[in-house]
Amino acid sequence: MNRTLLTGLIITVILIAMSLIGPYLVPYNESKEATVHYSVDANGQGTLVVPPLSPNAEYPLGTDKTGNDLLAKIIAGSRYTILVTIVVAFARTCIGGIAGLFLGYFGKDKIKSARRLPLWNVLNGIPIFIIVWMVMIGISINAVIPPLFLTIMLAVVMTMVGIPSVATTIREKTLVIRDKQFIISARSIGASPMTIIRTHIFPHMKESLIILFVQEIVLILGLMGQLAIFNVFVGGSTMYFDPVEYVSRTNEWTGLIGQARNYLYVYQWILVFPLLAYLLFIFGFHLISVGLESIYKDKFSKVSHL
């Protein structure tokens, strides 16, 4: 295990542990609000305390504009961020990986770009987040559907739009492996396609699938961040009027970032702390991906010795 992989694992394990045991350690829950009160210091100076409160001894990360403890909100929302990204990435990798193995083994060789259907080229150029946004925008804002059900719907949509890219990647790798001599030999002695895929091709794809799984987590986190810019939050958005603002129903990290992006020049901590948690999570999995690639590259590389 190299330092890059170890650092990434430490970061992600700490964040996952925080999401699991954090709610039992913070002094307040995400729904408790700091009230407006009058404070008198030791010198007799009085101050009217009105939320949002900047970071202090009582609220280490401060509060939002309604007085909710920001640390408690980040910890409460971490479960949605972490669980959704891992589950969606796992589903994409499993379904897309299986489809790619069969498409690569039974499919034809690469089709030249000029022979592809124009419609495929057009659809392939549409950003995934636009597709997800168009599906979810109409049902995410001020929805009567429970947040958990909306979260499941969003997870299903993100899984479906990501399967083709995973399947294509695995298919291309399978096309290369199926022409190897040991595959041809197994086929010549009568091994069934299922046996060849299970016992010969899949073992050569395990490392690629693991790296792909980690990379999918990073891509999904990026997709969730893009959706949050357009007010589609995991679990749904509550829209308030006069002034118009959108609030996350689950306190998921990208939702906290999306609803607080207008506070950059006034109450910076409301935006900065959820953004740091989000970026740290991405950075941790990026390090894991780089570390795994380095390990597998060293493992399978052949160096001549004199």
Neighbours of 82 (CB within 10 A): 21
| Alpha-carbon span 102 to 241, nearest angstrom | 52
> For position 108, what pLDDT does the model report?
74
Tokens of 114: 């000029």
List all residues 6 or more positions away from 172 whose beta carbon is below 8 Å from its beta carbon. Answer: 104, 110
Is residue 42 in some structural domain? no
> For position 57, what pLDDT does the model report?
84
Is residue 46 in some structural domain? no
Q: Using CB atoms within 10 A of its CB, is residue 159 exposed (0-12), middle (13-18) or buried (19+)?
A: buried
| Alpha-carbon span 192 to 239, nearest angstrom | 57
Is residue 39 in some structural domain? no
List phi, psi (to 5°) of 32: -75, 130
> For position 205, what pLDDT does the model report?
86
> For position 26, what pLDDT does the model report?
77
Is residue 240 in some structural domain? yes
Task: Render the burial of 88-106: b for 16+ CB within 10 Å, e for the rest.
Answer: bbebbbebbbbbbbbbbbe
Chain centroid offset of residue 140 CA: 19
| Alpha-carbon span 230 to 227, nearest angstrom | 5
Neighbours of 5 (CB within 10 A): 18
Neighbours of 206 (CB within 10 A): 11
What's the CATH code of the domain at 170? 1.10.3720
Is residue 107 in some structural domain? yes
| Alpha-carbon span 202 to 3, nearest angstrom | 28
Is residue 236 in some structural domain? yes
> For position 190, what pLDDT does the model report?
82
Spatial CA neighbour of 250 closest among 59, 135, 67, 84: 84
Is residue 36 in some structural domain? no
CB 233 within 8 A of CB 255: yes
> For position 200, what pLDDT does the model report?
86
Domain that holds residue 223: 3-28+53-297
> For position 299, what pLDDT does the model report?
60
pLDDT in tens, the chain (306 residues): 788 999 999 999 999 999 888 888 777 676 677 776 666 666 667 676 777 888 988 888 988 888 888 999 999 999 999 999 999 999 999 999 999 999 888 877 655 544 454 544 555 556 788 889 999 988 999 988 899 999 999 999 999 988 988 998 898 888 888 888 888 888 888 888 888 888 888 888 888 899 999 999 999 999 999 999 999 999 999 998 878 889 999 999 999 999 998 888 888 999 999 999 999 999 999 999 989 888 877 665 544 444
CB 140 within 8 A of CB 233: yes
Domain total of the chain: 1
Is residue 220 in some structural domain? yes
